[in-house]
Structure 1
């Protein structure tokens, strides 16, 4: 019998969302080769651009990471809508870099945490992973709808 602990499962989920293609493509693969101009385009099937979705992901991953580490977040948001609105002075490249750095910090923090701390925080860790996976799917869907997805980037899972 194989025994899997919560820490391993959650860490694997973070890796799948960030940089390891598994049953779905990772965030790195979903954003690969996307220019700032392309990230700002709107699809007729989406309320948000990819740029806005990445801003939203950056906001919530940073917020939840700070909470996981017990850091004050001093976040005042009037609603979820504002988390999609990128700061005008933040470039696409900087936004992606910041999100990837946060994902790397997440991965490192989980690796360094003990099993009890992970179990104590398992619910919020699972939800941030689900949130990331949902929006990664949106990004790929938008890219496909705009004709900006190379099918060879996808993952072909054969059962």
Structure 2
């Protein structure tokens, strides 16, 4: 199980090459306690939430954006929405909020609201007027994952481990997209982690 989680983390880090900042990655401390399932999951959750390590975390990726910037969608040379990059930062963040809130409810043993299964709706439900709320919800749900992981019993953690590992991978993937869109837009400050 630990090997699968480490491989999942490696895939997430390599998938999001635009967000990589390996200069801040550190080797484990000399006398650090051995890794556990809990410590690995917490490390993955925190590194995609708010702790810059191997790549820029989502809180940094969305920080300082205006609602207008969050609404911007890349366009191709003809001035049309680029079919390969057709999501705004706001759409990507709304998608992450949707799936992370559902996943957190599920690991807590609660039932999320019914979902029709159209994943496009999770992107297209973005409203720039709610940008500040989306950023706050993204931070809140990630904090919720970390708090749950810290307090979960070993049995609960075992049962949720695969889902938590996928949450980290999914967050890393879309954070890379957020950074890419911001770089295309010209709203990303490279001093914040990605050159």
TM-score by length of 2: 0.75
Deviation of the 1:88 alpha carbon: 4.4
Q: Given the alignment of the two structures, is residue 64 of structure 1 paired with residue 103 of structure 2, yes or no?
A: yes
Which segments of 5 or more consecutive residues in structure 2 lack a partner in the other structure? Answer: 1-30, 76-81
Deviation of the 1:49 alpha carbon: 0.6
Conserved 8 A contact 2:70-2:128: no
Deviation of the 1:47 alpha carbon: 1.3
Map 1:31-110 → 2, pairs under 5 A = 31-44=62-75, 46-86=85-125, 88=127, 91-110=130-149
Root-mean-square deviation (CA, aligned residues, Å) is 1.8
Q: Given the alignment of the two structures, is residue 19 of structure 1 paired with residue 58 of structure 2, yes or no?
A: no
Distance, in Å, in 2 between the alignment partners of 1:133 and 1:14 is 10
Distance, in Å, in 1 between the alignment partners of 2:174 and 2:145 is 17
Conserved 8 A contact 1:22-1:155: no
Conserved 8 A contact 2:91-2:123: yes
Conserved 8 A contact 1:40-1:49: yes
Q: Secondary structure at the match of 1:91?
A: helix
Q: Secondary structure at the match of 1:77?
A: coil
Q: Relative to structure 1, is the Cα distance of residues 113 and 90 closer, same or farther in structure 2, using a 3 angstrom cutoff?
A: farther
* Ranges of 4+ aligned residues in structure 1 off by more than 4 Å: 87-90
Which 10-residue stretch deviates more, 78-87 or 97-106?
78-87
Radius of gyration: which is bigger? 2
Which segments of 5 or more consecutive residues in structure 1 lack a partner in the other structure? Answer: none
Conserved 8 A contact 1:55-1:83: yes
Conserved 8 A contact 1:23-1:155: no
Deviation of the 1:67 alpha carbon: 0.4
TM-score by length of 1: 0.91
